[in-house]
Structure 1
Amino acid sequence: MGGKASSFLILFAAMLWGTTGTTQALAPETAHPISIGAVRLAVGGLFLLILVLVTGKLSLRDWPIKAIVGASFCMALYQPLFFSAVSSTGVAIGTVVAIGSAPILSGLIEWAYLNTRPTRIWWFSTGISIIGCLLLFADKESVSADPVGILLALGAGLSFASYTLISRGIAGDHSSLSLVAIVFTLSAIFLSPFLLIYDLSWIRSVRGVVASLQLGIVATGAAYLLFAKGLSNVSPSTAVTFALAEPMTAALLGFLVLEESLNITAWTGIFLLVIGIGILIWSPKNEKMTA
């Protein structure tokens, strides 16, 4: 699979992640965000585990245990950090800091630990995309930059960047389906205590069941399977930049499904996100960068 094909797989995965906001908005009002995150991983992990068992692709031989546990812990940590950041400092700032910081942190980690210096094209396209993300969330709500919330959002960004980096190191040697099945099953186990802390009565409603299945199967299982497949030919920093398509998709779904309004600033942000991601995909240097 070539670099551009892998890039589109990751881009599609990010678009599937972008459906989570709309799904949560349509979920029962009694559903706590952290309980939704825990249920999302539980359903997604179970779905992937069943899928890998049915297809007979589960193999536990020669797996790097430390890397698997590390990736699982990062993914499990991302959920409460992100939702707590959004709750503490608001959707706009929490999302921008968490999702916007992830590409930068990923690029710096690659540079420091893998001695792989991101290209100028990557810095340029990532910068445009992050500016687009900032504009997309501008004027969404009154700004309340809570320091604790910002730290939590940075922790979420670091968790996602670290998950991507670790998964990239495993993806080339093992089945993508086996990788995500094992990682998300462990992640769900790590977050299982939250299922005992928060009220889960909302799951018994029709809306709750539909929301849980959509979040678990589509926005987690299918999305991260595509993400893992794409990682085999795309660098972690590039993959995390493509993930900025998530807030763009969420905004467009909010506009089309939830009838939310988008002002000229938000549309400018969407335009910049499309330009930034497009430059990264179609750049002649993309093949070298993703090899």
Structure 2
Amino acid sequence: MLSVLAVLAAALLFGTTGTSQALGPEGTTPLSVGVMRMVIGGTVLAAIAFTLAARYRRNQPHSPRLGIRPLALMVLTGASLAAYQPLFFLGTARNGVAVGTVVALGSAPILAGMLEWALTRRRPTATWMLATGLATVGVVLLGAGGEAGTGGGTDPMGLVGSVGAGATFAVIANAQRRLLDAGWDPFTVVGAMGACAAAIFACALPFVDIGWLAEPRGIAMALWLGLATIGVAYVLFTWGLSGLTAATAATLTLAEPLTASILGVVVLGERLSPLAVTGLVVLAAGLALLALGSRAPRDPGPFAVEA
């Protein structure tokens, strides 16, 4: 159950991203905010995680040795984390924030489950399928309700971007699961991801306008997005993943749009349509079902070994 709570806490932190950006200074762009978020967050994430990993290894004398396969998986997680943001922003730019967000987040658990099924040959159980179905329907209703009266959008490139963002998250969850199964501690795994992602986005700094950092609100926003929504959130997520399957963790992160919607109403004064409210209820039901079905850490978990 602690693993479930850790992933849910991470999702709550992820869900503050949009509100934090909305409360930031004028002149920001999604790309510039995303770059600073990853440079700060990835660096802090690596520092925290590698410190915890060193302590962990002192109690684990038989740590696995770094080879080509684990190194490739670690680089893959960092590259996937770096790729998530431009793909996500492509989806929201072409189809709107609500549609782009729900397609990205709604596709992530489905793609994670399918990828894990293909890699492990383990068949999803009825509980996981029902919980994921409810949660996915919930975010779709939430997005449709949020876009009521605007006409929505189904631009093909935007859909590709959103689904691609969901796919990168599915790759991260499954790659980390493989590393954990191979004996790597969760802190080394997430630290490597943060370091790689920070290095990639540091190369993009000369090409984005970060003049808004001169304002106190800009610094506060960048620090919150980097420290809380990346540094702390991904440590919690990866620690929780050590007790869950990739598919379960990805579904639990659907609490992110739930958090974002509540913050939008309470903090930003947004109004939800009846359809969006229905989506929140369905989403909450799916998350509750999945949490109840995940009380035993990874056994039996959401997957049953196929006979």
1:274 aligns to what?
284
1:41 aligns to what?
38
Residues 56 and 234 from structure 1, CA distance in 2 versus in 1: closer, same or farther, beyond 3 angstroms?
closer
- Equivalent residue letter for 1:197: F
Q: CA deviation at 1:69?
A: 0.6
SS in 1 for 2:124: coil
Offset from partner CA, 1:129-148 (integer Å, 9 cap, x none) = 11111111223232111110
Tell me if the contact between 1:48 and 1:221 (Cα under 8 Å) persists in the aligned partners.
yes
2:231 aligns to what?
221
From 105, 108, 114, the counterpart of 1:102: 108
Q: Does 1:134 align with 2:137?
A: no
1:204 aligns to what?
214
From 248, 251, 266, the counterpart of 1:256: 266
1:9 aligns to what?
6
Residues 87 and 256 from structure 1, CA distance in 2 versus in 1: closer, same or farther, beyond 3 angstroms?
same
- Equivalent residue letter for 2:300: K
1:80 aligns to what?
86
2:21 aligns to what?
24
Q: Distance in 1 between matches of 2:158 and 2:224?
A: 28
Offset from partner CA, 1:140-187 (integer Å, 9 cap, x none) = 232111110000111111001001100112235233233222211111
Residues 55 and 229 from structure 1, CA distance in 2 versus in 1: closer, same or farther, beyond 3 angstroms?
closer
Residues 154 and 53 from structure 1, CA distance in 2 versus in 1: closer, same or farther, beyond 3 angstroms?
closer
Q: Distance in 2 between matches of 1:75 and 1:284?
A: 26
Instruction: Give the stretch that moved more between structures: 39-48 or 143-152.
Output: 39-48
1:165 aligns to what?
174
Offset from partner CA, 1:218-244 (integer Å, 9 cap, x none) = 011100000000111100011100010
Q: CA deviation at 1:283?
A: 2.4
1:237 aligns to what?
247
Residues 245 and 52 from structure 1, CA distance in 2 versus in 1: closer, same or farther, beyond 3 angstroms?
closer
Tell me if the contact between 1:233 and 1:290 (Cα under 8 Å) persists in the aligned partners.
no
Q: Distance in 2 between matches of 1:97 and 1:223?
A: 22
Residues 260 and 81 from structure 1, CA distance in 2 versus in 1: closer, same or farther, beyond 3 angstroms?
same
Q: Where do 5+ consecutive residues of structure 1 fail to align?
A: none
- Equivalent residue letter for 1:289: G
Q: CA deviation at 1:288?
A: 0.6
- Equivalent residue letter for 1:169: R
Q: CA deviation at 1:268?
A: 1.4
Offset from partner CA, 1:40-92 (integer Å, 9 cap, x none) = 11111221233346557287972321110111111111111101211121112
Residues 55 and 119 from structure 1, CA distance in 2 versus in 1: closer, same or farther, beyond 3 angstroms?
closer
1:189 aligns to what?
199
Residues 130 and 255 from structure 1, CA distance in 2 versus in 1: closer, same or farther, beyond 3 angstroms?
same
Identity of aligned residues (%): 38
Q: Distance in 1 between matches of 2:27 and 2:48?
A: 31
Instruction: Give the stretch that moved more between structures: 84-93 or 247-256.
Output: 84-93
Residues 145 and 53 from structure 1, CA distance in 2 versus in 1: closer, same or farther, beyond 3 angstroms?
closer
Q: How many positions carry a matched residue from both structures?
A: 288
Q: CA deviation at 1:111?
A: 1.2
Q: CA deviation at 1:195?
A: 1.5
- Equivalent residue letter for 1:178: T
Residues 27 and 114 from structure 1, CA distance in 2 versus in 1: closer, same or farther, beyond 3 angstroms?
same
Residues 74 and 129 from structure 1, CA distance in 2 versus in 1: closer, same or farther, beyond 3 angstroms?
same
Tell me if the contact between 2:293 and 2:302 (Cα under 8 Å) persists in the aligned partners.
no
Tell me if the contact between 2:294 and 2:301 (Cα under 8 Å) persists in the aligned partners.
no
SS in 2 for 1:117: strand
Instruction: Give the stretch that moved more between structures: 221-230 or 108-117.
Output: 108-117
Tell me if the contact between 1:34 and 1:194 (Cα under 8 Å) persists in the aligned partners.
no
Residues 135 and 53 from structure 1, CA distance in 2 versus in 1: closer, same or farther, beyond 3 angstroms?
closer
1:289 aligns to what?
301
